[in-house]
């Protein structure tokens, strides 16, 4: 992972109760899957849509890490508040099914977490 303040920032957001509630605490921190989901959110927030053209997704996320590292503390605070609000809205709108694959019917079980870009 790329060094810098982004590492701790992602870890803090991945441990935030709003993220845990939105994902029903189902995203493992093993292999940093939780941090990757947070980074996806930030990557799409910090990158103008015209700059993302479906290129190499790993490089897109690496570029986002560099962008997060360059943010001021104040900017990171703003992004953290936006992230928490988005997670709260996701939970309020979709309940325990937020970030889960939808199969077009009411499911008696929880499907696996889907790792969308996390943009609201």
The residue written with tokens 């935030």 in the block is 16
* Distance from C-alpha of 65 to C-alpha of 40, rounded to nearest angstrom: 10
Instruction: Give me the tens of pLDDT residue by residue for the chain, a chain 120 residues long.
Output: 689 999 999 999 999 999 999 988 888 787 888 999 999 999 999 988 788 777 788 999 999 999 999 999 999 999 999 999 999 999 999 887 788 776 666 654 455 665 655 444
Question: What pTM did the predictor assign?
Answer: 0.82
* Distance from C-alpha of 76 to C-alpha of 78, rounded to nearest angstrom: 5
SS3 113: strand
Q: What is the DSSP letter of 49?
A: G
The residue written with tokens 């029903």 in the block is 24
| Degrees, nearest 5: CA angle 49-116-75 | 55
């Amino acid at each position: 992972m790329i060094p810098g303040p982004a590492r701790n920032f992602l870890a803090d957001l991945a441990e935030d109760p709003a993220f845990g509630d939105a994902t029903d605490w189902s995203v493992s921190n093993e292999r940093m899957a939780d941090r990757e989901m947070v980074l996806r959110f930030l990557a799409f927030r910090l990158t103008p849509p015209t700059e993302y053209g479906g290129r190499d997704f790993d490089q897109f996320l690496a570029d986002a890490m560099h962008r997060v590292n360059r943010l001021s503390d104040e900017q990171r605070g703003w992004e953290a508040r936006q992230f928490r609000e988005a997670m709260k809205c996701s939970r309020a709108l979709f309940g325990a099914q937020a970030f889960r694959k939808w199969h077009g019917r009411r499911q008696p079980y929880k499907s696996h977490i889907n790792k969308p870009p996390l943009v609201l």
